[in-house]
Amino acid sequence: MNIKKLLIIFSLLVGPVVTQPAFSADLECTIYVKSGGFEFGNGTNFCGGFDFSFGSSTSGNWEITNITKSIDYVNWIEGCSSGLSCSVTVRAYASNPAEVYIHYTDGSIEYLTGSMTYETGY
């Protein structure tokens, strides 16, 4: 087989894979701490905060953003129960994870994960 035929076969096999749009959705968290506290990582998939309220929890939300393909359905494992966003209670000193599978209409599936942390007082 000559080089020209090899290049044609290679481009037919690899070309469709390379030209497919890459996954691009993002899982973003936002945490809201009490007055006088500080937050970090809002707008990313890992965020957290600290305040001196001595409470056991604060509020936050999860949101799937930057979606460029048509979605068939969303399957939340942890974090939300349905939809593309939700409000959550963020427990202090506990694991507050999120996991979601996005099923696109083209048959592809994307997995996103994230976590929120919260600390309060001493």
40, 42, 46, 47 alpha-carbon torsion, rounded to 10° = 40
- Within a domain: 6: no
- Within a domain: 81: yes
Grouping H, G, I as helix, E, B as strand and the rest as coil, residue 3 is helix
CATH number of residue 72's parent domain: 2.60.40.10
Sign of the alpha-carbon torsion through 60, 66, 71, 77: negative
Counting the structural domains of the chain, the total is: 1
Alpha-carbon distance 47 to 29, whole Å?
Answer: 6
- Within a domain: 43: yes
- Within a domain: 7: no
Say whether pTM exceeds 0.95.
no
Per-residue pLDDT of the chain (122 residues; tens, 9 = 90+): 566 555 566 556 655 544 445 668 999 999 999 988 999 999 999 999 999 999 899 999 999 999 999 999 999 999 999 999 999 999 999 989 999 999 999 999 999 999 999 999 86
Domain that holds residue 81: 21-120
- Within a domain: 51: yes
Start-to-end CA distance of the chain, whole Å, equals: 73
